[in-house]
Structure 1
Amino acid sequence: MGVQSLLKPKSIAIVGASEKVGPGFNAVKALEFVGYDGEVHLVNPRSPELFGRRTYASLDDIPGSVDAVFVAVGAEAVVDVARQSVRKGAGAMAILSSGFGETEDGKAAQQALVDIAEANDIAVCGPNCLGLLNFVGRAALFGTSLPDHVGRGGVAAIVQSGSVGIALLNSARGIGFSYLITTGNEAVTAAADYIDAVIDDPNVTTILVFAEQIKKPAAFMSALRRARDVGKPVIVLKSGRSQSGKAAVMAHTGAIAGSDEACDAALLAAGAMQVHSIDELIETALLASSIRVRPIGAQIGGLSLSGGEIALVLDAAEELGVEFAPLGSSQPKVKELLPPFAHLSNPLDLTWAGLYDPAVARDCAHAIASQSDVGMLVLIQDAPSRLGVQQATRYSKLLEAVANGAAAANTPVVALSNVSDQPHSALQEVADKVGIPYLRGTRVALSAISHYLKWSAHSKPNLAADSASAARLAKSGLDMVPSHRLAAEHEARDVLKSYGVEGPRETFATSVNDAVVAAEEIGFPIVLKGLVENMVHKSDAGLVKVGLTSADAVRSAAEAMLVSAAKVEGKFLGFLVQRKVSSLGEIFVGARVDADFGPLIVVGAGGVQVELYKDVAIRLAPIDEDAAREAIASTKVAQLLGGFRGAPAGDIQAVARTVSALSRFMADFSDRIHEIEINPLAVLENGKGCLALDCVLIPKGHAH
């Protein structure tokens, strides 16, 4: 597809050109704005001349070929324009016209457009978009008015909404743009295609994406990974988040890890920075595109003139997971520089000494920035636009001093204003001169910092080198399960055992007497389960009894289960006799295959409330043990396992191994297994492991 014909057309035809203010007028003015020097053809059957140029009644009347066509006519005429574009050898069309796939009546017309474009290898921006601007290549296929000035720089903005594009262009935040592409319906050419096209442009340093939905998800994630590999950050804001998954499922996992959660996990795995508002998008883009030195540590150092505002920042930082490093090697130097009453902590209150003597601020900044655990320095300094001259001058000197101190330590520095006002022009001028992004708004700014630090620290998973033998054993176990039914609990556990997932001591029994004998051999207390063909949640049917302490209790429970089993649909398979496990806590581990993004792993709070509370972490599978530990740490389960209220600590490393193992199994068998659930996974004391007390495997294609 000729994406380059969209981004860098050699010649352009504007269909619907006009001297009347509107899309056809704006398209001409956009070309003047960017300084396009290629051939331009104006098409309007009602005007023989526009802007002092000859016009053409149709594309067919233009002599020679046309590389790209901008379309600003009614939807009913667009398909015919597409056919004319084919005849002119066009490689691209940008279609502003609405009334296509976004409406029920326009879907057939959009499909006709798609058929023409795909058959003739034509890239299409839109329909239902504003078009695009290439500032570095001086090209435009754009149908709305432009501000007097647009900053040029390394940000390529790819946005599905024209309104968001206008907001970005008109923002006074100092972002420099290389491209602005509004993608509209993405009927043919999607965000994935544009990302892939701009990654290799040396003028692009940062990519910004606003998506209402992600078309071509596999290609989209592949493009994000490629951008990650070449060191170009991608910031993604996705709207239209729903509360439900794509389809009802038999196990809990699908209800927890729906389409939006799957998308979040995929974005995380691909190394994108995911944001949740336009403000956050802008501040993160400003930070990523203007910071000059990449951080090498995950913690930050902070400087301020206000203890009260330091407290506000710390409150927000704790909620957002931003960590300030403790004062370590810098403390003696800082103590020497500041008055005796100064409170030595991080963030550091510079007091009046740092404000009135820039050398003090510089040297404190250098000392903290030189700590090996500080990856970024943050100057917490409000800069309201209506500051008086005296205060603005003083703050400007402080900003420059801190920048010089951090630069001497080769540590990146960011300024953060707790107020969301545009920074004062004097401070902004200094920030621009020394290359410091001046972020505004406490939470939004800290979110941007958090995103960038995590992106900088992103690494590829360290997975087990060879799981071929595990896969062979697991396949053998799966092949032994009759095709007409699900694997019973013990069969599912045996399959997962190939990957290192452990379960309790248990025996499968086909009769009441055998169940009693097995219980006596295993030892009391006992958990007794009745297994019915294709039944996933046994407790709902009265087929689970916990804490049986005698042979008579086992016999009585087993006989009652036979009665209960006769009342439900499905063949009774037998009894599962398990040794009751005493654990520190029980959690949920699951996995499923998302239709768009592939295999996912889920870990979090277990039990019957798992769907209600959804205290879970969701990641794209497979993940290594380090990523599994990070996922666990992001949930409240981590508090329980870490020794809550004086209780012994749980074996978190064993849990991480199990989560990683299940993720590898899911990735290896995603063509065969749709969903897995271990609920609960019993966590024992540190060093004693964890046990899968119940297992469910849902094969691909199994009727829900």
Structure 2
Amino acid sequence: MRPLDRLLRPRSIAVIGGGTWCENVIRECRKAGFSGDLFAVHPTKNLLTECPAYPTLDDLPAVPDAAFVGVNRHLTIEMVRKLAELGAGGAVCFASGFSEAVAELDDAGSLQDGLVAAAGEMPILGPNCYGYLNALDGAALWPDQHGLTPVSNGVAIISQSSNIALNLTMQARGLPIAYIITAGNQAQTGLADIGMALLQDDRVTAIGLYIEGIGGLKAFEAFARQAAAAGKPVVVLKVGKSEQARTATISHTASLAGSSAGADALFTRLGIAQVASLPVLLETLKLFHVTGSLPSARLASMSCSGGEASLIADIAAERRVSFPPLTQVQKTRLRDALGAKVALANPLDYHTYIWGDVDAMCRTFEAMASGPVDLCMVILDLPRSDRCRAEAWFKVIDAIELAMTASGKPFAVLSSLPESLPETVAVDLISRGIVPLCGMEEAMDAIEAAARSGLQTKKPDLHRPSDIDTPTTLPEDEAKALLAQFGLRIPKSTSASGADDAACAAERIGYPVVLKGSGIAHKTEAGAVALDLSCARDVLEAAHKMPVQSYLVEEMVTGILAELLVGIVHDPAHGLVLTLAAGGIMTELLADSVSLIVPAERTDIEEALQGLKIAQVLTGYRGRPASDINAILDAVMALQDFAIAVPVKEVEINPLLCGKDFAIAADALVKRGETHDG
């Protein structure tokens, strides 16, 4: 595929078709101030919205850089083929009825294949998409009204939903949007391709993604690394759980590490900020546009109200943001600016003693900025312009600008309500280099996301496993033997056919023993596990109660301090996903898990373990001994090495028995199969 430059930054545009949608593309290009050539193509009309119309593409006076193809799905393929033959720069395919409609239309899949073949090396967006808006150059291959205005620089947003993209253009939060691009079915051009093209535009400051799934994992990783190298942060709102990304819930791991956990782990690994709502997506993009990624979420908050100070502190307490205590230097400078009546703290209620005094407010804000903080926020809700006057509030903004210049720290104005920060004021704040944040909860979520973003370039490349055909579940004894070859410690064990054979095996291993029924995934729930059996009679009684005729007899591990689950799932959408969780029968009950993308480094795994609730037990809770963390890490690394080397659909150790000097795999599940390149 050729580069997207001509398609996204065209000097000439052709609009193919005659419906309302095509007429609107012409109107929006004119409204946006597009200065290049604008052509219409229609077999019978001479004019389309006062734009010269030509009967065929061959009749155009020049080959267009970009074309909006607004005809039916069958004719779309013909028009795309002709554009490619002429050497056009690219096309937006508006029509639907392609791969998104395979359940309803028998020819939908073949038509999409035909469209890609017709395009050849010429880039296309869609099909089934609105196209794009380029507010930098006035190009609007967009079949509907929108809310963008011309900008000289700004953020770019890529969306898999055209209607969501349309809604985002209507934001009134002051965010300068340079591009809105819809990806549609991504028949040829994927999210990563579009993102790579946008990174080449120096006027783009950050990129936002609204997506349902990731097509090419390697391409997406390359995009994330290129964004990091360019210093352009990326934030994503991912929704939906595609059928492809779901994994069979044969194991606890699969139920914990579905597509959502895999996506979260992937974005964290790639340094991409993650948000859960459209307002937070916009607020994070504002932060990125003005300040870039934040080194941390250490904040200074200032307001002239104790209520606001208390409210922001409570909201922040539920998130990974912090308000560092004031240093002695800060306290001295604040006391000089505020006098003796104000209680000094962070968040700070500076009262109204200095309201309207720009110099005193500036000294207050500068004093707060002198501490160990990465973003300074002044909570400020402007009065309604239709009923009130706001001159005194603008003095606060002037003081903020002075303090920001003097301190060198980034500043934000935070309104507790979105409607109390008018768009005109937000735009003015951005022009001054101040971040306008709308809504306390949205702002805290955005700050948390921005502080967690940023790719660590030393991270190894992702491991993209081959697709797996006909996976099969290995018997537990075979699974454990295979895992032991990679260094995983397992208990002494032997298989047995029948109760009498199990009793004999127990004698050879030595009591106490564990008896397990073979061929059952969830043994505890099925009554197929018996622990701490101390004699042959115990073994026989336990065997007769189980719903199987074959068994696994193992040594009983003693001195257990904690139980963990360690599992890896082959997620087709995100690669191999490593999950760590509280183990045994408490896995789902405690909901205590974390996922990482393979390969994960030892330090990352240790940090993830420390983030679990069960970490307190691992490190010695209320005077109990601590588990051997290095032994646990050795076990996890061994499992990871196994999953990379052996084609697996999933592999799980549950529980991994943890003691003072051991980490032993008590139960193992391996689901492996043949592979082919995906």
If the TM-score is normalised by the length of the shorter chain, which range does it land in? 0.7 to 0.9
How far apart, CA to CA, are the structure 2 residues paired with 1:140 and 1:110?
29
How far apart, CA to CA, are the structure 1 residues paired with 2:296 and 2:198?
29
- Whether contact under 8 Å (1:356, 1:394) holds in the other structure is yes
The match for 2:567 is 590
The range that moved more, 151-160 or 194-203, is 151-160
Give the direction of change, closer, same or farther, for the CA distance of 1:413–1:691 in structure 2 (3 Å limit): farther
Q: Which residues of structure 2 form unaligned runs of 5+?
A: 462-471
- Whether contact under 8 Å (1:492, 1:697) holds in the other structure is no
Find the residue that maps to 1:697 and give its secondary structure: strand
Kindly state the Cα deviation for residue 48 of structure 1 after the two structures are TM-superposed.
2.3
Give the direction of change, closer, same or farther, for the CA distance of 1:660–1:411 in structure 2 (3 Å limit): farther
How far apart, CA to CA, are the structure 1 residues paired with 2:302 and 2:243?
41
The match for 1:623 is 600
How far apart, CA to CA, are the structure 1 residues paired with 2:523 and 2:284?
48
The match for 1:610 is 587
How far apart, CA to CA, are the structure 2 residues paired with 1:513 and 1:149?
82
Selected match of 1:556 from 537, 540, 543: 537
Paired residue type of 2:15: I
* 1:220-231 matches, cutoff 5 A: 220-231=220-231
**Which deviations, in whole Å up to 9, do the C-alpha atoms of 1:489-528 show, x marking residues without a partner?**
64255245x2xx556x6465876345335435xxxxx342
- Whether contact under 8 Å (1:244, 1:258) holds in the other structure is no
Kindly state the Cα deviation for residue 449 of structure 1 after the two structures are TM-superposed.
0.7
- Whether contact under 8 Å (2:138, 2:150) holds in the other structure is no
How far apart, CA to CA, are the structure 2 residues paired with 1:150 and 1:124?
24
Kindly state the Cα deviation for residue 87 of structure 1 after the two structures are TM-superposed.
3.6
How far apart, CA to CA, are the structure 2 residues paired with 1:424 and 1:656?
54
Aligned residues: 656
Paired residue type of 2:563: E
How far apart, CA to CA, are the structure 2 residues paired with 1:483 and 1:279?
45
Kindly state the Cα deviation for residue 279 of structure 1 after the two structures are TM-superposed.
0.8
Give the direction of change, closer, same or farther, for the CA distance of 1:410–1:682 in structure 2 (3 Å limit): farther
The match for 1:477 is none
How far apart, CA to CA, are the structure 2 residues paired with 1:64 and 1:628?
58
Selected match of 2:656 from 681, 684, 694: 681
- Whether contact under 8 Å (1:530, 1:561) holds in the other structure is no
- Whether contact under 8 Å (2:159, 2:165) holds in the other structure is yes
Give the direction of change, closer, same or farther, for the CA distance of 1:655–1:111 in structure 2 (3 Å limit): farther
Q: TM-score, normalised by structure 1?
A: 0.83
The match for 2:142 is 142
Find the residue that maps to 1:680 and give its secondary structure: strand
The match for 1:14 is 15
Is residue 78 of structure 2 the alignment partner of residue 75 of structure 1?
Answer: no
Kindly state the Cα deviation for residue 431 of structure 1 after the two structures are TM-superposed.
2.3
Paired residue type of 1:623: A
How far apart, CA to CA, are the structure 2 residues paired with 1:211 and 1:606?
33
* 1:57-136 matches, cutoff 5 A: 57-62=55-60, 65-103=63-101, 104-106=103-105, 108-109=107-108, 111-118=110-117, 120-136=120-136
Is residue 382 of structure 2 the alignment partner of residue 383 of structure 1?
Answer: yes
Paired residue type of 1:12: I
Give the direction of change, closer, same or farther, for the CA distance of 1:425–1:123 in structure 2 (3 Å limit): closer
Kindly state the Cα deviation for residue 233 of structure 1 after the two structures are TM-superposed.
0.9
Give the direction of change, closer, same or farther, for the CA distance of 1:633–1:384 in structure 2 (3 Å limit): farther
**Which deviations, in whole Å up to 9, do the C-alpha atoms of 1:312-354 show, x marking residues without a partner?**
2122212122122122342343344434343332212212344
Selected match of 1:636 from 587, 596, 613: 613
The match for 2:269 is 269
How far apart, CA to CA, are the structure 2 residues paired with 1:184 and 1:367?
50
Paired residue type of 1:48: N
How far apart, CA to CA, are the structure 1 residues paired with 2:176 and 2:631?
46
Find the residue that maps to 1:102 and give its secondary structure: helix
The match for 1:438 is 436
The match for 1:581 is 559
The match for 1:515 is 506
Selected match of 1:546 from 531, 536, 544: 531
Q: TM-score, normalised by structure 2?
A: 0.86
- Whether contact under 8 Å (2:125, 2:186) holds in the other structure is yes
How far apart, CA to CA, are the structure 2 residues paired with 1:531 and 1:461?
45
Q: Return the structure number with greater relative CO, CA threshold 8 A, min gap 6.
A: 2
Give the direction of change, closer, same or farther, for the CA distance of 1:455–1:484 in structure 2 (3 Å limit): closer
* 1:143-542 matches, cutoff 5 A: 143-147=143-147, 149-241=149-241, 246-291=246-291, 295-329=294-328, 330-371=330-371, 373-386=372-385, 392-424=390-422, 428=426, 431-456=429-454, 458-460=455-457, 485=475, 487-488=477-478, 490-491=480-481, 494-496=484-486, 498=487, 506=492, 508=494, 512-513=503-504, 515-516=506-507, 518-519=509-510, 526-530=512-516, 532=518, 534-540=519-525, 542=527
**Which deviations, in whole Å up to 9, do the C-alpha atoms of 1:438-491 show, x marking residues without a partner?**
1111111100111111115x5346689xxxxxxxxxxxxxxxxx9975554642
Find the residue that maps to 2:530 and give its secondary structure: strand
Selected match of 2:666 from 693, 697, 702: 693
Give the direction of change, closer, same or farther, for the CA distance of 1:297–1:283 in structure 2 (3 Å limit): closer
Paired residue type of 2:34: Y
The range that moved more, 201-210 or 654-663, is 654-663
Give the direction of change, closer, same or farther, for the CA distance of 1:154–1:662 in structure 2 (3 Å limit): farther
Selected match of 1:568 from 545, 548, 572: 548
Paired residue type of 1:163: N
Paired residue type of 1:399: I
**Which deviations, in whole Å up to 9, do the C-alpha atoms of 1:213-269 show, x marking residues without a partner?**
333343223312321232211111122247996232432211211122212221221
Paired residue type of 1:494: A
- Whether contact under 8 Å (1:245, 1:255) holds in the other structure is no
How far apart, CA to CA, are the structure 1 residues paired with 2:405 and 2:640?
43
Give the direction of change, closer, same or farther, for the CA distance of 1:365–1:244 in structure 2 (3 Å limit): farther
Kindly state the Cα deviation for residue 535 of structure 1 after the two structures are TM-superposed.
4.4
Give the direction of change, closer, same or farther, for the CA distance of 1:345–1:642 in structure 2 (3 Å limit): farther
- Whether contact under 8 Å (2:32, 2:150) holds in the other structure is no
Find the residue that maps to 1:421 and give its secondary structure: helix
How far apart, CA to CA, are the structure 2 residues paired with 1:661 and 1:649?
23
Selected match of 2:633 from 653, 657, 666: 657
The match for 1:474 is none
Paired residue type of 1:75: R
How far apart, CA to CA, are the structure 2 residues paired with 1:316 and 1:666?
43
Q: Which residues of structure 1 form unaligned runs of 5+?
A: 465-481, 521-525
How far apart, CA to CA, are the structure 1 residues paired with 2:632 and 2:398?
46
Paired residue type of 1:668: I
Give the direction of change, closer, same or farther, for the CA distance of 1:361–1:89 in structure 2 (3 Å limit): same
Give the direction of change, closer, same or farther, for the CA distance of 1:698–1:12 in structure 2 (3 Å limit): same
Kindly state the Cα deviation for residue 619 of structure 1 after the two structures are TM-superposed.
1.7
Paired residue type of 1:90: A
- Whether contact under 8 Å (1:593, 1:600) holds in the other structure is yes
How far apart, CA to CA, are the structure 2 residues paired with 1:489 and 1:296?
44
Find the residue that maps to 1:459 and give its secondary structure: coil
The range that moved more, 539-548 or 602-611, is 539-548
Paired residue type of 1:260: S
- Quote the RMSD (CA, aligned, Å): 3.4
Identical-residue share of aligned pairs (%): 27
